[in-house]
Amino acid sequence: MKKNILQATFILLACSASIVSCSKKETPSIRFLNPLQVDRNNEVVTINCNELGNKTGDLPKGMLPLFLQGSDTLVSQNIDLNKDGIPEEILVEVSLPAGGYKDIAVIFISADEFPKFKEKTNLHFALIKEIGKEIDSMSRVQSNKTEITSKVLQMEGPGWENDKVGFRNYFDLRNGMDIFGKIKPLLVLDTIGIGVHSYHLMSNWGMDILKVSNSLGAGAIGMEKDGKLYRIGDNGESGFERIYEGPLKSEFALHFKNWVAGNDSLDIIHYISITAGKYCYESSVFANFPDDSYHLISGFVNKYADSLIFINSLDNHVVLASHSIQSEDKSILGMALLIPRENYLSHTEAPKAGDGITETYYATMPAEAKFFFYAGWALGNSDFVKADGFLDLIEEDALKRDYPIQIQKAIL
- Mind listing the domains of the chain with CATH numbers? 2-115 (2.60.40.1180), 121-380 (2.70.98)
Distance CA(314)–CA(334), nearest Å, equals 19
pLDDT digits (tens, 9 = 90+) for 74-86: 999 999 999 888 8
pLDDT of 229 above 80: yes
Tally Cβ neighbours within 10 Å of residue 400.
Answer: 16
Q: What is each CA distance from 57 to 18, 30, 31, 54, in whole angstroms?
A: 17, 11, 15, 6
Please state the pTM of the whole predicted model: 0.93
| CB burial of residue 27 (10 Å; 0-12, 13-18, 19+) | middle
Q: Per-residue confidence at 61, pLDDT binned at 50, 70, 90?
A: confident
Predicted pLDDT at 386: 98
Q: Per-residue confidence at 25, pLDDT binned at 50, 70, 90?
A: low
Distance CA(322)–CA(334), nearest Å, equals 6
Mean pLDDT of 364-374: 98
C-alpha closest to that of 123 among 70, 161, 168, 86: 161
Distance CA(295)–CA(291), nearest Å, equals 9
Contact 89, 65 (CB under 8 A): no
